[in-house]
Amino acid sequence: MAWSCRTRPSPATSPQTTSWPASSRRFPARSSSTSTPETMSRHPSIDDPTTRDVLRQLELDVTIRLDGLLQGDYLGLVPGHGSEPGETRRYIAGDDVRRIDWNVTARMQEPFVRQSIADRELETRMLVDLSPSLDFGTAWCEKRDLALAAAGAVGFLTQRVGNRIGAILLHDGQMRDFPPRQGRDHLMAILHEINQADRIDTTPASLSGGIRRLTKSARRAGLMVVISDFMSTEPWPEELRRLSLRHEVLAIEVVDPRELELPNVGLITLRDPETGRTRDINTGRPAVREAYAAAASTQRTEIANRMREAGASHLQLSTDRDWVLDLVRFVALRRKQAGGTGRVKS
């Protein structure tokens, strides 16, 4: 089964949105198996053929499409060997000119390059939000599918350069912890759990609590990736700031276009999936659509500002865009900001 599989209805809608019919999709339907406290505590199996196909296609997207576009240079997405600056030495033909240390070169009157110290056992940890608000999508996929794609991209690239990957999954009021380990099997177990997580209507796990747990559990400095729609009203920006004091933090925001503006389709009922509250809205009125778009724009701007103030890098993925291209643009920008030094400025 490939990414371009059938549509599926969403029983839960995103805050301020309704269940719009989905167009052609690139993501396969997840299994309808139910996650219980018992199943969430077991090491997940990836023997299901549908799950294997989903994860295999995701791996191909990362290792073929993404690798081809990035040409093997993942600077700015995952930490790799040699991210710490080391000693200088004389330039040798064939050295990367981006490594030239111009201050030393000017002082010594001949080219010198800055070497890198090889990092060992670097850790990447992900916090993946699987709240009901992510079970929504009106374009190519649902927001939860984007969360899976983002986790897969970070995971496969991390595993590829030999770093350890860990994760905390927020689902059904619980936090499922995967301690950092190396290896493809460990990553597949994480992605399987994300893909198989059941849709829920219960109170979601706390986003700020998840970030707090990530801060406490990550004792070694590394890359911390938080994947969510960040629509929680909790004080998550403060927790994100604490996390970024010691770690490099990447916040991946997943959105859907219908969360940003309403179409003119007449009277609709909006339902908040995390509270169950409903409200009838007449989208035929221009003033209503304009007010909605203004409020949504303010909300997203506020989210972006809070991330920047917390010291986190911000990547937004949308269900109506190619997530691979968005990721490539992000890495290209970060690579430019790093200036070839191996360090990325937030």
Look at residues 206, 251, 202 and name the one whose alpha carbon lies nearest to residue 229: 251
Per the prediction, the chain carries an average pLDDT of 77
pLDDT tens across 30-71, in order? 433 333 333 333 333 444 556 677 777 777 777 777 766 665
In angstroms, what CA-CA distances link 262 with 18, 84, 314, 335? Answer: 10, 47, 25, 36
In angstroms, what CA-CA distances link 279 with 15, 42, 82, 206, 264? Answer: 11, 39, 54, 25, 17
CA distance 109 to 106: 5
Look at residues 148, 142, 254 and name the one whose alpha carbon lies nearest to residue 196: 148
How confident is the model at residue 191, as a pLDDT?
Answer: 93
How confident is the model at residue 120, as a pLDDT?
Answer: 52
Burial of 76 (0-12, 13-18, 19+ CB in 10 A): buried
Q: Domain 37-73+120-336 is classified in which CATH homologous superfamily? A: von Willebrand factor, type A domain (3.40.50.410)
φ, ψ of residue 29 to 5 degrees: the values are -70, 145
Please answer whether residues 59 and 2 qualify as being in contact, where contact means their C-beta atoms are separated by less than 8 angstroms: no
Residues near 336 by Cβ (< 8 Å), separated by ≥ 6? none
Ordered by start, the domain boundaries in the chain are 37-73+120-336, 84-117
In angstroms, what CA-CA distances link 124 with 73, 74, 80, 179? Answer: 17, 14, 10, 10
More confident residue, 58 or 178: 178
CA distance 113 to 42: 50
Give me the percent of the chain exceeding a pLDDT of 90: 36
In angstroms, what CA-CA distances link 297 with 130, 138, 167, 290, 293? Answer: 23, 18, 30, 11, 6
